[in-house]
Structure 1
Amino acid sequence: MSDAILKDAKSRMHKSIESLQRDLAAIRTGHANASLLDRVTVDYYGAPTPVNQLATISVPEARMLTVTPYDKSSVDDVLKAIQQADLGINPTSDGTMIRITVPQLTEERRKEFVKDARREGEDAKVSVRNIRREANDKLKKSEKDGDISEDELRNYTDEVQKITDDSIRKIDTLCDEKEKDILEV
């Protein structure tokens, strides 16, 4: 029972970290990156569909993305979805392919992106701490019900804290790497 609580907490914390990685990938750095378009969805035949499922996204140059839809009739829909995504980029189309030039970031804009990255990291930490609290509550309930002893409770809560500390360390590392990437000129 208690091992299942630990396994569940560890799994949920790992999912929080994966979510943070996806969120950080969507923050611009001044370099072209295909993950910039991960959150963009296109209304394709009535269903919201991610761009990366409708098109090939490639990075031919350091500051340029090309998006080539598989269905040539959807070029305008993809173009409109990218424009409406408010990514701070201006896509252009030649009828078959969409070119996106990623503009050089100003110092002020870089600092805003660093703040966004830190905010995402803090949200992930809050999520991890909530998972820790829930796991500890379940463990205390198990102890109250007589499923585990007081010593086992202490050992399990220590283990939950170790998992939490590792997750927080990973989050800090991811945020530090992203900050370095953003501030790099």
Structure 2
Amino acid sequence: MANPIIESAKERMAKAADVLQRELGNIRAGVANPSILRSVTAEYYGAETPLNQLASISVPEPRVLLITPFDKTALKAIEQGIFAANLGLTPANDGSVIRLVIPALTEESRKTLAKDVKAEAEKAKVAVRNVRRDALNDAKKADDLSEDEERKIEKDIQVVTDEAIKNIDVIQADKEKELTTI
């Protein structure tokens, strides 16, 4: 019974780190990263379609995203979708591709984004602590565990929690470094 509780907690804590990675990918750091377009959809033949299904996205230069639609008739819809996503980017449509130039970050915007990173990391840590709480409750509810086994499981859960928190701290530090590097 001990291993399933710990393994389940480990998996759920890893998912919290994955969610953090995905959320931090949406924070633009002054460099071109196709993941900032993940939330963009465009109306294509009457249906809202994700941008990655309508076009290929490449990074020809460090601060430029190049969007090449599979169907040239979708250019206007893609452009409108980028405006609607409110990314703070202005698309440049040349008739065959759309270029998005990522503006340089000011010191003030870097600090604001660093605060956002800390807030997202704290959300992930709260999620990890909630998983720890649930795992500890599961261990206490387990009828077939002796007190010694229960204490060992509690220690193992704490070790797994500490590892997950360290991983989140590393992810946070990497993103903050990316934001502060000019």
Given candidates 158, 167, 174, the residue that maps to 2:164 is 167
Q: Which portions of structure 1, spanning 4 or more consecutive aligned residues, are displaced by more than 6 angstroms?
A: none
Supply the AA of the counterpart residue of 1:179: E
2:180 to 171, 180, 183: 183
**Pairs within 5 Å for 1:26-41:** 26-41=26-41
Structure 2: unaligned runs, 5 residues or longer: none
- TM-score of the superposed pair, with normalisation by structure 2: 0.94
1:175 & 1:60 partners in 2: Cα distance? 27
Cα root mean square deviation, aligned: 1.3
Alignment of 1:1-185 (within 5 A): 1-142=1-142, 146-185=143-182
- Structure 2 vs 1, CA of residues 44 and 127 (structure 1 numbering), >3 Å: closer, same or farther? farther
Q: Matches of 1:12 and 1:49 in 2, distance apart? A: 30
**CA offsets per residue over residues 24-58 of structure 1, 9 Å max, x none?**
11111111111121222334345443212221111
Amino acid at match of 2:49: T
Structure 2 residue identity aligned to 1:22: R
Q: TM-score, normalised by structure 1?
A: 0.93
1:44-89 deviation per Cα after TM superposition (whole angstroms, max 9, x unaligned): 3454432122211111111111111112222222111111212221
Partner SS for 2:144:
coil
**1:41, 1:19 → 2: CA distance?**
20
Helix, strand or coil at the partner of 1:83: helix
Percent identity for Structure 1 against Structure 2 = 48
